[in-house]
């Protein structure tokens, strides 16, 4: 291969190395077990989380997202979309970035679809991308606020928890979500 820019080569190399370990997807049972555990952790760590989930139209849970980078970076995770507490589809999420960054991080993410329209738009898409196909508001949740008592104006909210490691920020802009069949 001939690359015109060194950044293109570095990006391709990092993504290849980063995601090689993910080429063997988890089984549906493994994903569901991880999602069950992540939901319990969400309820324990986010005040009012248990009362919040029954109010939303659906939620997409990624129990383990790995993000790493040195100038060129990426992230990847597998999860499940639940409606009425039942898994209806499995998804993976990934993104690549280039810029000032260094570190590695692992975290869980729950994306809550507050409105039917937001959930239906997500379900109808083939390769939904945050920031293009829809906007996700990432919440930095305080310990003293009860999530179940809040009325949300944004149609899609993301909650980051179980963070381990060190990386400057967590964002969902440019993240691609694809339906998978484990």
Vertex 86: Cα angle to 81 and 87 (nearest 5): 40
Query: Could you list the pLDDT tens digit for every one of the 182 residues in the chain?
Result: 554 555 555 455 455 545 544 445 789 999 999 999 999 999 998 888 999 999 999 999 999 998 887 777 788 999 999 999 999 999 999 888 777 667 888 889 999 999 999 999 999 887 777 654 455 666 665 556 777 777 777 888 888 888 876 655 555 656 788 999 98
Are 97 and 14 a contacting pair, CB within 8 Å?
Answer: no
- Does pTM surpass 0.85? no
Q: Are 65 and 106 in contact (CB under 8 A)?
A: yes
Name every residue whose Cβ is closer than 8 Å to that of residue 93 and which is 6 or more positions away in sequence.
62, 65, 75, 76, 77, 78, 79, 175, 176, 177, 178
């Amino acid at each position: 291969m001939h690359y015109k820019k060194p950044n293109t080569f570095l990006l391709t190399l990092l993504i290849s190395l980063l995601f090689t370990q993910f080429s063997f997807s988890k089984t549906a049972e493994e994903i569901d077990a991880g999602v069950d555990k992540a939901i319990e952790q969400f309820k324990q760590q986010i005040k009012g989380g248990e009362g919040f989930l029954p109010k939303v139209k659906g939620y997409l849970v990624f129990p383990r997202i790995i993000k790493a980078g040195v100038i060129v970076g990426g992230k990847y995770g597998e999860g499940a979309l639940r409606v009425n507490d039942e898994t209806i589809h499995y998804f993976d999420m990934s993104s690549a970035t280039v810029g000032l960054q260094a570190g590695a991080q692992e975290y869980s993410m729950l994306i809550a679809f507050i409105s039917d329209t937001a959930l239906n738009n997500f379900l109808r898409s083939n390769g939904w991308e945050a920031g293009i196909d829809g906007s996700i508001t990432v919440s930095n949740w305080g310990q003293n606020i009860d999530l179940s008592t809040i009325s949300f104006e944004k149609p899609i909210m993301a909650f980051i928890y179980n963070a381990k490691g060190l990386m400057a920020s967590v964002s969902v802009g440019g993240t691609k979500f694809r339906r998978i069949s484990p």
